[in-house]
Amino acid sequence: MSVERVTKFLQPLGYADRVKEFEVSSATVPLAALALGVAEARIAKTLSFKIDEERTLLVVAAGDARIDNPLFKARFGMKARMLSAEEVQKRTGYLPGGVCPFDLYEGVRLCLDESLKRFDTVYPAAGSAASAVKLSPEELHDITQGEWVKVCKLPNETE
């Protein structure tokens, strides 16, 4: 089970006790926010993109943030192309709804969007569509060594 994989990964780092599993789905931002009783913006969603036929890019962003195509293209030099549902597990090791930034396959590039920095704690998935882990953005960075980027816009940001 993927939650066990994430818990095992987080154990030596001292964060395994923060993993939460739910009786209800947390596969989408609204469902995760409901399961946790927090604002949707504090859900750290992991978006999966195809770099090419071999390489994958994951961007972890705040639940209310949206990929901004011009920012994405300027940062990564390519158009944002999300993985199909069929490609997600093959490329990330996690099923859709449970993709997370932990214990990633070799060659998966991980970036953390600056939209997460607004919060003291955020909740990325913990390997399944009914799980999450409570972390500060700094802890998330320390654990994942993800690269900070700005490729998203918030609802109140204009062009």
pTM as predicted: 0.94
At residue 159, does pLDDT exceed 90?
A: no
Per-residue pLDDT tens over the stretch 5-48: 999 999 999 999 999 999 999 999 999 999 999 999 999 999 99
Q: Looking at domain 2-148, what is its CATH homologous superfamily?
A: YbaK/aminoacyl-tRNA synthetase-associated domain (3.90.960.10)
Q: What is the pLDDT of residues 80-111, one digit of tens each?
A: 999 998 899 999 999 999 999 999 998 899 99
CB 124 within 8 A of CB 33: no
Q: What local confidence, expressed as pLDDT, does residue 1 receive?
A: 59
Beta strand residue intervals within 10-159, DSSP E: 19-21, 43-50, 56-62, 66-67, 108-113, 123-124, 131-133, 147-149, 152-153
Q: What local confidence, expressed as pLDDT, does residue 107 receive? A: 85
CA distance 42 to 118: 9
pLDDT in tens, 36-69: 999 999 999 999 999 988 899 999 999 999 999 9
